[in-house]
Amino acid sequence: MKYAGRIAITTVVVAMVVMARIYGSVYYNYPLFQLPYLGLPAVVICWWLGSQYDKVRFYAEKDVLTELYNRRFVLQQFPRLLARMDKRNESLRVYLIDVDNFKRINDTYGHDMGDQVLQAIATILSSHTTNKEIIARWAGDEFLIISPSSDEDTRGGEALMVQITDTLKILSKAYHMDVSVSIGTSVYPNDAQDLDDLLNAADRQMYDMKSRQRNATFA
């Protein structure tokens, strides 16, 4: 959780206390370095008020379970992101990630374990992305990565997908269960012009991947 609210409001109050002390010292001969008995409680109260603001802002933008960004944040930020891409004549890639057989995990191992799996996947996604990318819990067992300025020739969609898949194999061994995901991608502006159409394109690719995995299992 960020400290922006706490830092901002506390900085303002401290500055006001210092200015009041200097004013009192200059015009009323008030001791400059005497302990500010009124100022200290004011700083503590403002720090607490700032923490409440930070909490409200955090839960407005973040998913409580995974602490990734939530759907609301993505919907708010995406139009601005597209405008920035257009201005710079750049592209972005959308990754739609769905946890395979998540209902089976919940039914077999319980919802607490299901929550742990989602948290672990969130950590894996964050570890394989940069602070320029948006990672969000889109819905239930679906995640979203928005990668601005993607260069299909140098990084492409496959590189990140392979990294995530390989790390999930390690997680599966640690949890003694099969944890895997299906991933679909789409690129703006090549594949679509808005978020809904980009998600639909990524969704089709994701289900093609699921179909291939099922066919390989029964082959």
Q: Flag whether pLDDT at 20 surpasses 80.
A: no
Q: Which two tokens stand for residue 57?
A: 């802002």
Task: Report the SS3 class of residue 2.
Answer: coil
Query: Looking at residue 30, what is its pLDDT?
Result: 64
Question: Tokens for 202?
Answer: 């990524």
Q: What is the mean pLDDT of residues 147-155?
A: 60
**Residue ranges per structural domain of the chain:** 4-61, 71-218
- CB-hemisphere CA count at 13 Å for 118? 26
pLDDT at 24: 63
- What's the topology of domain 71-218? Alpha-Beta Plaits (3.30.70)
**Nearest in space to 129 (alpha carbons), one of 172, 215, 68:** 68
Residue 145 · residue 94 · CB < 8 Å = yes
Q: How far apart are CA 27 and CA 19, in angstroms?
A: 12
pLDDT band at 154 (very low <50, low <70, confident <90, very high): very low
Q: What is the pLDDT of residues 101-134, one digit of tens each?
A: 999 999 999 999 999 999 999 999 999 998 889 9
Distance (Å, whole) CA 181 – CA 162 = 11
Strand-pair partners of 139: 142
Q: Which of 27-31, 68-72, 142-146, 215-219 has the lowest mean pLDDT?
A: 215-219
What average pLDDT score do residues 154-169 get? 82
What integer is the mean pLDDT of 157-182?
A: 92
**pLDDT of amino acid 153:** 43
CA distance 6 to 215: 54
The pTM (predicted TM-score) of the whole model is: 0.73
| 133 SS3 class | coil
What are the tens digits of pLDDT across the range 50-60?
Answer: 665 556 565 66
Q: How many CB atoms lie within 10 A of CB 6?
A: 19
pLDDT over 80 at 149, yes or no = no
Q: Measure the CA–CA gap between 198 and 188, rounded to whole angstroms.
A: 7
Average pLDDT over all residues of the chain: 82
Helix, coil or strand: residue 152: coil
Confidence check: pLDDT of 202 > 70:
yes
